[in-house]
Amino acid sequence: MAKFNSHIKNLKIVLRPAMPVFEGGLKVGDSAGQYAQFIDGQFETKDEKIIAKLETLSTFGVDFWKVDEAEQNETSKVDGDSDNSLEKLTKKELQALAVEKGIELQGDETKDALIELLQNKQEN
């Protein structure tokens, strides 16, 4: 089992695009494509071909990354909004998360201030 994480919550990676199917020169439909659909920033698979394909993409390590086994065990013990995961987010992502959690922002908060606001909100 391989797990991948992404800072993009609903990332959809096309592994094999859908293709039109023709019979006698007429399009009769489409063959199904194959996709890696991240749900809430996570994707899991046991398929070795999919794992190999994902690891060869140019966005691997940028938009998404493979979670090693030690990290998998650690994240299963820790809440998703832990200090570590908040540190990995960009300032824009932290701002969006703060708004999502109902935190009013002035617009001039630093990344550290945003993390602190989110941690305080989590404790309450």
Task: Give domain limits for the chain.
Answer: 1-77, 79-124
Asked whether the beta carbons of 55 and 88 are under 8 A apart, the reply is no
Find where tokens 């009769």 sit. Answer: 28
Locate all alpha helices (DSSP H) within the chain, ordered by sequence: 48-56, 69-77, 83-88, 91-100, 111-123
Whether residue 15 has pLDDT greater than 80 = yes
> And the tokens for 2?
């391989």
Quick: pLDDT tens for 23-63: 999 999 999 999 999 998 999 999 999 999 999 999 999 99
Location of structure tokens 């998998």: 72
Query: Among 2-6, 57-61, 66-70, where is mean pLDDT lowest?
Result: 66-70
Q: Say what the pLDDT of residue 100 is.
A: 80
Amino acid making up residue 39: I
Question: Minimal CA–CA distance to 93: which of 114, 66, 116?
Answer: 114
Separation of alpha carbons 2 and 88, rounded Å: 20
Across the range 100-105, mean pLDDT stands at 84
**Distance between CA 72 and CA 108 in Å, rounded?**
34
